[in-house]
Amino acid sequence: MKYIKIFAPATVANVSCGFDSMGFAVDTVGDEMSFTKTVEKGVKITQITGANGLSLDPTKNAAGVVALAMLKKHPADFGIEISMHKGYSPGSGLGSSAASSGGAAFGINELLDRPFSTLELTKFAMLGEEAACGTPIADNVASAIFGGFVLIRSYEPLDIVKLPVPDELQLVAIHPQIEVKTKDAREVLPKDVPLKDAITQWANVGGLVSGLYTNDYQLIANSLTDVIVEPARKHLIPHFDLVKNEAIKAGALGAGISGSGPTIFALCKGEEAAANVYKAIQNAYSDKNIDFNLFTSKINTQGVKILETK
């Protein structure tokens, strides 16, 4: 193989109660990335379309950092050129840097004839997240690479559990066209958490995992509650409470902040409920004088997808 083109999915991290430990991949939104072997060794990023302000310097770009680390670990007698089209903007709360990082890990691994495991790819992708966001978090990149829902059970050592996805689960998400930087969103987090809130939060994580395994949509709905991070961050997102309340009123199982925001996600049971929630959110935001993107999607259970090879 001399060339591969892939789709790297957007992701929803935290999923309300699972801060830095849960996430899932999106099916309809993501980046397209191409990787080409070259005679000249090293990593070169030739172009980035669809987003402004991203560096072509591989040492300052999430995808480039991942590629360089992989070639250092597994030297090759060729170089690699990377080009990418961003399907959504950085700072959206949909794992923009994670798509670049996870997509790069997958694509480079294919050109190297797959020397690394999925878990090892996640570790490489975390280096891209650290370069982009300052923290080597795994929930977004693991979701992009593994697909479906994932649980980061442990960071040291890294232990990732892929969770089942109920067939009727649907996503509705609104991305207000403002930017919330991950670093800024982390600065507002509480330094201390009351024991009562901690107990509530980890009980909800257990409930969400159980609901996914048993296809219990009511349990999923009951568990999509965040009493720690959402209250601290929601002021960063215009009209968050309105969108959440209208989504749930229209039939959503639950709604919350995707990643660091400003995207707000809602999970629904079935296409009809998703359509109703879509309309409710659209109506709630249409007169707020803020541009927004609104979309629906199934959960992407595959992760990174191969589009073309040569």
Q: Which residues are catalytic?
A: 129, 182
Q: How many CB atoms lie under 10 A from the CB of residue 253?
A: 23
Q: Which helix (H) or strand (E) holds 275?
A: helix 271-285
Indicate the residue type of 247. A
* Cis peptide preceding 262, ω within 30 of 0: yes
**Structure token digits, residue 230:** 């959402």
From the number of C-beta atoms within 10 Å of its C-beta (0-12, 13-18, 19+), residue 39 rates as exposed
Picking from 95, 159, 161, 93, the residue whose alpha carbon sits closest to that of residue 129 is 95
Q: Cα 308 from chain centroid? A: 23
